[in-house]
Amino acid sequence: MIKLIRIMVGLVVGVAAFVYLFFFAKWNPEVLGHSVRLTLWNYEAPFEVTVYPVLVLVVGVAMVFAVSYTVGYVPAWLARGKVGRGARKGQVAIDQLEEALDLVARKDPARARKALGHALGHPLTHTASHLALADLHLAAGQRATALELLEAERVANPASVRVSLAKAKVLEADGRPAEAASELRRALRESGPSVGVLEALRDLVEREGNWEEAYTTQQHLTRLLREAKNPTLEREAGRLTFLRYEVARRRIDDGKVDDAVTALRDILKRNPGFVPAAVTLGDALVAKGQEGDALKVWERAFRVEPQLVLLDRLESLCLKQGDPGRVVKIYQEALARDAKNLVLRFMYGKFCLKLEMVDEALEQFDQIESAGAHFLELSVLRGEALHRRKNLDAAVEEFRKAVRIEGLRYVCRKCATSTTTWGARCEACGEWDTLRSAARLDIEAQEKSVASVGPLPTV
């Protein structure tokens, strides 16, 4: 617009100069010096004829600027006003939608519906409002209504990933997980790879126990995160290992033990400290009659990650084979590497008591007590050892009835659920590799307590 104005002004100036210089000076020189009387309302004055073109020039330039301003700037000003009003309306819609979503989160259906009704009056917020309303219907148990609303929204926005995720959520809540998974697969086909959809599909098929598809989906998700250099890649790559482990475990259940053994060996090759794979691989080898190979697997894993479930497996199999000395050697080597590990020392003392190595067991228990750790099972086992040395009275016998020397109790580090059976995954919270010996947790708590108090004063 500015360029056009400059061109127009230049043309007017050029024409005026041409008229003045050539028309008067060259073609009509006799006009120079003559004047006429001009009347403006009641006022009359002489007016030089040659000044007339200058007046035309001034008036012309003024008209050019007036027209240019009217044509160029006024519509722009009007447009800015329109955009401003639209922005204000959009902000009002956003505020109403946020209020509605907050009420949905607070489970206030009456006020949430009212707020959503206001928000739906603004076209810019229809999808978000419909999704929030569907979520409200779902919370109220009106799943059919929520599905109708989402289906209508999907017709209007067939490529919307948010609509697909919301519909899959409602379908699963309605007891139709297969249809929910189909909806998520359709979204992946039609809208392309999406982190949110892949995560939702993985979680859905995982809850249904479809480990093969969960593992495949996690592979796609990990690849997508790697390409995007997403900071969650490490966590999701770890989950990929867990899912592959579940696939292998399912193959054992299906009788495909050789395939499972191959997969578990590969998992341990990539992650030697992944205890669930080591435990399950050893169990599979024992089932195949390869007990020597199972012992090697558990020993290697224990050196990398000294978890008590591995010791429990080693103890049971070595006692079955009549070779407890092998376990004693493993304990002694581990304590030589980490003499301050009170958990190992407690388990070693417990194993010695099982082998009737009472003096060795008492030595281990005494060292634990001298380190400042005190807990019920330690006291009972120490009492049992003293009882076997015939140094206890009838009260210790009562303690002895309250606990078994053999066996372990496990506690989930995530949700604190207690169980007597070790598993790769906590059945309560679903987290993998979180079950730890209760004795280990007790000792760790005692160590933290002692560390926070500091050394005891010398008497």
E strands, 9-163, are 35-40, 43-48
For the question of whether the overall pTM of this predicted structure is more than 0.85, the answer is no
Q: How many angstroms separate the CA atoms of 420 and 76, rounded? A: 77
Distances in Å between the alpha carbon of 230 and those of 220, 226, 235, 243?
14, 6, 10, 20
What letter does residue 217 receive in the DSSP assignment? H
Strand partners, 35: 48
pLDDT in 10s for each residue of the chain, 459 residues:
555 666 666 666 666 666 665 655 666 565 555 565 555 556 555 656 556 566 556 666 666 666 655 655 555 555 444 444 544 554 565 666 666 666 656 656 667 666 666 655 544 446 776 777 788 778 778 899 889 888 888 888 888 888 999 999 999 999 999 999 999 999 999 888 889 999 999 999 999 999 999 999 999 999 999 998 889 898 899 899 999 999 999 999 999 999 999 999 999 999 998 999 999 999 999 999 999 999 999 999 999 998 889 999 999 999 999 999 999 999 999 999 998 889 899 999 999 988 999 889 989 988 988 888 777 777 788 788 877 777 755 345 435 444 444 456 788 888 888 887 788 888 888 888 888 877 666 666 655 554 443 443 332
CB atoms inside a 10 Å sphere around CB 175: 9
Distances in Å between the alpha carbon of 148 and those of 145, 163, 171, 188, 428?
5, 12, 11, 22, 35
